[in-house]
Structure 1
Amino acid sequence: MSDSIKDYYQNARNIPESNILGLPLPRKVISVGDWSDPHVVKLGFDDQNIVDSTWAKWDSTHCVDTAKFHAWQYFIEEIANPIRLHLENNNLTETIRYIVMCQGVPYKIQAVGDWSSPGNVSVDGLLCMLNTDDYDDFVETIFNNLVDDCYPGCVPPPYHCYSSPVISNPYFDKDSTFNFNSRFKPDNYTGSWGGYNYRLSYLVSRLDGLSFEIIKDMIDKSVAADKSGEAAWILDNTPNILGNGLSGQFITAKNRLENYGFNVLYDFTNDWITHNTYTEGPIMGYTSLGVHAVGSNPAYQTYVSDSLLFDYANGSVFNTFESFNAYSISTLRRIGQGVMTEFTSIGGTSGAGHVWEPYASRVSRAHVYFPYYAMGYNQIDAVWQGFSVLAWRNVVVGDPLTTIAWGKQQLAENLTWSGTNLVTGEIDITNHIITIEDSSVINFRHQGFITGDGKLMIGNNVTFNIYSWQKGLFLSYDSNNPRLVWGEHPTFGSSANYNIYRKIDTSAWSLIAQTTSLEYTDTEMLINIPGDLAPNLFYKILASSELPGYDTSNTVQASAEKGKNKITANNEIAELSYSLDQNYPNPFNPETRINYDIKENGLVQLTVYNILGQTIKELVNEIQSAGSHSVNFNAADLPSGVYIYKLKSGDYLSSRKMLLVK
């Protein structure tokens, strides 16, 4: 099945062949020395667990010295070394960020052959520090430290070995203000432990589950993750069990999510949470005390599939404060635990767990994991930032490339958006195109914006929900004419009036239109492909309402020229004729815009008269080229009344009336 998973994932994410490595596992037995030697280790491979059956005997022959022997060596020789060699041979050591293990690769090592909590170490937790200097010795020291602390003098383990070894995660909670400057980089996050300077080299996750169909479904949901930002997050706090410390993590998770506009289902009671009847929408994340919560009996084996039957959004994640929620990721249930495989079997996509009993503080902390993921970090970046320690029990299941929001990034390829999309950071689209399909909804939050010298192709009836008017105006290249589209003013709302201003080259800003709608097409101008010419056309919008004052939008720009042909409503190019349009707005106070077309090059005169025929102002008196033209008329120093404007060019003569109301 491992090959099938690899093939499907490689195709889904377009992974090059040079990034694929097959590990010839398992090697059933490793023998060291003579079989009669009491230090011979028989290393078995049992259900994805590297385990030594000899260590299970605690007698005078097999004790601490034997317990330190060779489990780490199997990991180095059969897993770590082939990966390191492949990365070096393919020049990938410094370029990749993530390692994805397909089902079949061992995910835990039984460090000491006993029933107790120290009995397992995560393969993934060790691999994440693969580029650490003296890595082999570093890994051996981790195992020796674990065994020495837990088995001093061949006696049953004291409880303090739960905490050993403690290797701090230098990537923990690095971006609490969500500036998106902490996306994972290999070997960028470092620390010290046991005399070693370790490096967080790669983030490791697994594509694992009960069957190929379930894993395939996980991949499909990751590729098509719900990026609307509308799915809810369940936080089941149980304060009488958690105590103030961990309870505070739930509260912080709630506050962080709600502060950025996410829907949170928060339970602060001491009763077991069951929300099978929740029908208000999909669920994106779930965390709780699991079976440890009060009232969980008799659901010890089935609470996930019995009580958590939500409508899970594509990309949904699972993270509970339980001992063994990733004890096995190829079996359905374990008595007394809710396991990861049960979550993915009922529609979940991914999550974080641990291969054996940790302190609760070692679980990926929901107040980091959930908000980071919600705001646009990759799922694996988010969960690893939630781990406070490394190289111990941690395991992540799921596609590391899963994202559920558009965080800060430089676009690497053209995109098409449809439906609802959440944008939380600036997206630089330089040299690329984003196409937004008809009737889509784009929700901007936090620092969300689209910038850069690229192209936006905005469909019809697209809604932009904006948090800042200074980041609310967009220019669409879906036609030959510049089309301005903006979000409803976040304060003025539906009562807003919008004054559209244009500037060409270094000329002054001029009012070209007033509207209450949320888009405007400037038919006088033709826009060029970005990058062909320096930007010479600029737009901004002043929003106002019955409230005093006004608010100025951001400025958008393009390279453009005045049209020599007239663009019809159907986007067809028609031959120009002479025409004089009605001024806009009309009535006006004190400024209005007059548009006109000239068929041939020549002298153009545009003059304003009062009702008595007296000349008020000469707006144009010059040679102009054929094409569409416009001019502003400011009547700030004139009294209210009817005025006439007259256009003369060659044999063409036309006039219209306009009304100034003060």
Structure 2
Amino acid sequence: MKGVPLKIRSTASYSGDTPGPGPIANRNEASVDSELTVLPIFLHHISGETPNPYFQSFRAIGDLENATLLLVCRLDAPTAATVRRMIVDAIAAEKSGLWGRAYVDGAHNTGGGGIGIGDQWLAEIAGQLHKVGIPAIYEDTPAIFPEGYPMTDCALYYGWYAGGVAGPFTEPDFRFVPGAIAVHIHSFSASTLRDPNSNWVAPLVSKGAAASMGNVYEPYLQLTPHLDIFNDRLLHGFTFAESAYMSIRVLSWMSVMVGDPLYRPYASWLQIDAPRDSTKSPADEWKMYHAFAVKNIIRPVSEFRALARQVASASHNCPMMEDLALMEARGGHFAEAASHLQQARTCYAQRDDILRVALEEADAWLKQNQPKRALELVRNVLRTAGDAPGAPLLRKMEQDLSVPSTSSPAKP
């Protein structure tokens, strides 16, 4: 988007403006795009934010009478080639469906100041994804996904809270699946869209994401897009623009939405009478899990998981096996999780998938206070995948597990 400014810097005052008290109402910096959204409202003030009348809506913008906002998105990136690829990928993914795995990186930040709400959004997303059969890796420790982490087949990414791009996204060979949507919560995640290595939005789209969201200045967490609402609306077939603006509480503020506004990544789910393609496709295992989940989600949890395990095992659906195992782990059933992860590990053929499941399986053994089983597993996998990009993560685990435990000295 050449020639269109990204943000409006703070200035001492504007003629006719009446700033209010507090840290929000007296600020006059903003995202250009967010200011454009309120043009139909004819605001007389400049400082502060404006309530979003579309927040939490569940209706397409075209169905509203006298809509008083514009859903402003921008097609922007470090290079024109990236923008063209974002458009092409969005069109293709909308036709065939966005298939792959979701990675949700919670900060597990339950401290004061209201910031724990971010983790609540991300935890809710993990639940939403399981209901529709999208395999989800949910990281809920304070650490982000580390560098070298085998983040394969990434179709959705939600995370926080690092100041600049980090972890797997810094790997030279990392790529999202075409049409992917990726968002990382940070105050200045979209401070620039021209540098593929700065902040978050520009690096994410440079690595293959078709759409992202961010902030140009400090927005305060509650006034950023509520990612649980955003993800929910995407899954229900709304466009990227509709989902983004349904998720944000205020306008005339700091947010910027980057991507094709009409992109509907899950529109194909709503096509009940769509013709079925009988040819074998790499997306078949993702489609199968989605179809199973939608059909059987009303079953009791134990019945759903038992039937899902049978189906996954019979069909050799590796992502489905792994996802069911991680559900068991989140429920505290670590013995069942370890058993299912072992099955998933032997199911996968790709080295990075095997390595990721080995990390998950070792963690399940550790949660059962069986470090020897974890160490044996790690060493076995390193023998066959010692040169993989993620192998240092296993070596670090091996090193930690190899340190002999120190016992308290006997009292004389």
User: TM-score, length-normalised on structure 1?
Assistant: 0.38
Matches within 5 A, 1:437-586: 437-439=277-279, 443=287
- What is aligned with 1:209? 77
- Are 1:323 and 1:358, in contact at CA under 8 Å, matched by a contact in 2? yes
Name the CA distance, whole Å, in 2 between partners of 1:128 and 1:379. Answer: 15
Q: Structure 1 residues 50 and 404, CA, compared in 2 at 3 Å: closer, same or farther?
A: closer
How much has 1:253 moved relative to structure 2?
Answer: 1.3
Name the CA distance, whole Å, in 1 between partners of 2:100 and 2:72. Answer: 26
Alignment of 1:400 with 2:261, yes or no, is yes
- What is aligned with 1:651? none
How much has 1:352 moved relative to structure 2?
Answer: 0.9
- What is aligned with 1:278? 150
- What is aligned with 1:11? none
* Larger Rg over CA atoms: 1
Name the CA distance, whole Å, in 1 between partners of 2:53 and 2:192. Answer: 27
- Are 1:328 and 1:339, in contact at CA under 8 Å, matched by a contact in 2? no
2:93 pairs with 225, 230, 234, which one? 225
Alignment of 1:237 with 2:106, yes or no, is yes
- Are 2:241 and 2:257, in contact at CA under 8 Å, matched by a contact in 1? yes
Q: Structure 1 residues 301 and 278, CA, compared in 2 at 3 Å: closer, same or farther?
A: closer
Q: Structure 1 residues 307 and 171, CA, compared in 2 at 3 Å: closer, same or farther?
A: farther
- Are 1:276 and 1:308, in contact at CA under 8 Å, matched by a contact in 2? no
Aligned residue identity for 2:40: N
How much has 1:466 moved relative to structure 2?
Answer: 8.9
1:330 pairs with 194, 206, 227, which one? 194
Alignment of 1:126 with 2:35, yes or no, is yes
How much has 1:311 moved relative to structure 2?
Answer: 3.7
Name the CA distance, whole Å, in 2 between partners of 1:188 and 1:224. Answer: 31
Alignment of 1:269 with 2:141, yes or no, is yes
Secondary structure at the counterpart of residue 207 of structure 1:
coil
- What is aligned with 1:390? 251
Q: Structure 1 residues 247 and 50, CA, compared in 2 at 3 Å: closer, same or farther?
A: closer
- Are 2:110 and 2:116, in contact at CA under 8 Å, matched by a contact in 1? no
Name the CA distance, whole Å, in 1 between partners of 2:180 and 2:287. Answer: 20
- What is aligned with 2:52? 169
- What is aligned with 1:252? 124
Name the CA distance, whole Å, in 2 between partners of 1:118 and 1:323. Answer: 15
Alignment of 1:184 with 2:61, yes or no, is yes
- What is aligned with 2:204? 343
How much has 1:467 moved relative to structure 2?
Answer: 5.0
- Are 1:368 and 1:385, in contact at CA under 8 Å, matched by a contact in 2? yes
Q: Structure 1 residues 50 and 244, CA, compared in 2 at 3 Å: closer, same or farther?
A: closer
Backbone CA RMSD of aligned residues: 3.7
1:314 pairs with 155, 178, 190, which one? 178
How much has 1:443 moved relative to structure 2?
Answer: 4.7
Name the CA distance, whole Å, in 1 between partners of 2:236 and 2:146. Answer: 26
Name the CA distance, whole Å, in 2 between partners of 1:241 and 1:217. Answer: 38
User: TM-score, length-normalised on structure 2?
Assistant: 0.59
Q: Structure 1 residues 404 and 445, CA, compared in 2 at 3 Å: closer, same or farther?
A: farther
Name the CA distance, whole Å, in 2 between partners of 1:386 and 1:467. Answer: 24
- Are 1:131 and 1:187, in contact at CA under 8 Å, matched by a contact in 2? no
Number of matched residues? 285
Name the CA distance, whole Å, in 2 between partners of 1:266 and 1:467. Answer: 21
* Structure 2: unaligned runs, 5 residues or longer: 18-25, 297-306, 312-412
Q: What are the Cα deviations for residues 428-448 of structure 1, in whole angstroms up to 9, with x where unaligned?
A: x7xxxx5544426695999xx
- Are 1:275 and 1:308, in contact at CA under 8 Å, matched by a contact in 2? no
Secondary structure at the counterpart of residue 315 of structure 1:
coil
How much has 1:375 moved relative to structure 2?
Answer: 3.6
Name the CA distance, whole Å, in 2 between partners of 1:241 and 1:356. Answer: 24
Q: Structure 1 residues 127 and 289, CA, compared in 2 at 3 Å: closer, same or farther?
A: same
Aligned residue identity for 2:80: F
Q: Structure 1 residues 240 and 435, CA, compared in 2 at 3 Å: closer, same or farther?
A: closer
Secondary structure at the counterpart of residue 61 of structure 2:
coil
Q: Structure 1 residues 274 and 233, CA, compared in 2 at 3 Å: closer, same or farther?
A: same
Name the CA distance, whole Å, in 2 between partners of 1:251 and 1:318. Answer: 16
How much has 1:317 moved relative to structure 2?
Answer: 1.6
- What is aligned with 2:159? 288
Name the CA distance, whole Å, in 2 between partners of 1:328 and 1:313. Answer: 24
Q: Structure 1 residues 275 and 184, CA, compared in 2 at 3 Å: closer, same or farther?
A: farther
- Are 2:103 and 2:154, in contact at CA under 8 Å, matched by a contact in 1? yes
- Are 2:86 and 2:211, in contact at CA under 8 Å, matched by a contact in 1? yes
Name the CA distance, whole Å, in 2 between partners of 1:173 and 1:189. Answer: 17
Aligned residue identity for 1:68: Y
How much has 1:307 moved relative to structure 2?
Answer: 5.9
How much has 1:123 moved relative to structure 2?
Answer: 2.2
Q: Which structure carries more relative contact order (alpha carbon 8 Å, separation 6+)?
A: 2
- What is aligned with 1:648? none
Q: Structure 1 residues 357 and 221, CA, compared in 2 at 3 Å: closer, same or farther?
A: same
Q: What are the Cα deviations for residues 22-55 of structure 1, in whole angstroms up to 9, with x where unaligned?
A: xxx68xxxxxxxxxxxxxxxxxxxx655569xx5
Secondary structure at the counterpart of residue 228 of structure 2:
helix
Aligned residue identity for 2:248: F
2:237 pairs with 359, 376, 389, which one? 376
Q: Structure 1 residues 254 and 216, CA, compared in 2 at 3 Å: closer, same or farther?
A: same
Name the CA distance, whole Å, in 1 between partners of 2:27 and 2:229. Answer: 26
How much has 1:339 moved relative to structure 2?
Answer: 2.7
Question: Structure 1 or 2: larger strand share?
Answer: 1
How much has 1:301 moved relative to structure 2?
Answer: 6.2
- What is aligned with 1:597? none
Name the CA distance, whole Å, in 1 between partners of 2:176 and 2:52. Answer: 30
Q: Structure 1 residues 237 and 468, CA, compared in 2 at 3 Å: closer, same or farther?
A: closer
- Are 2:74 and 2:258, in contact at CA under 8 Å, matched by a contact in 1? yes
- What is aligned with 1:563? none
Aligned residue identity for 1:172: F
Q: What are the Cα deviations for residues 366-410 of structure 1, in whole angstroms up to 9, with x where unaligned?
A: 21112322342211211111112112112100111212223xxxx
Aligned residue identity for 2:261: P
Aligned residue identity for 2:161: G
Secondary structure at the counterpart of residue 269 of structure 1:
coil
How much has 1:265 moved relative to structure 2?
Answer: 1.0
Aligned residue identity for 1:120: E
Q: What are the Cα deviations for residues 443-491 of structure 1, in whole angstroms up to 9, with x where unaligned?
A: 5999xxxxxxxxxxxxxxxxx869559xxxxxxxxxxxxxxxxxxxx99
Name the CA distance, whole Å, in 2 between partners of 1:238 and 1:277. Answer: 17
Q: Structure 1 residues 284 and 271, CA, compared in 2 at 3 Å: closer, same or farther?
A: same
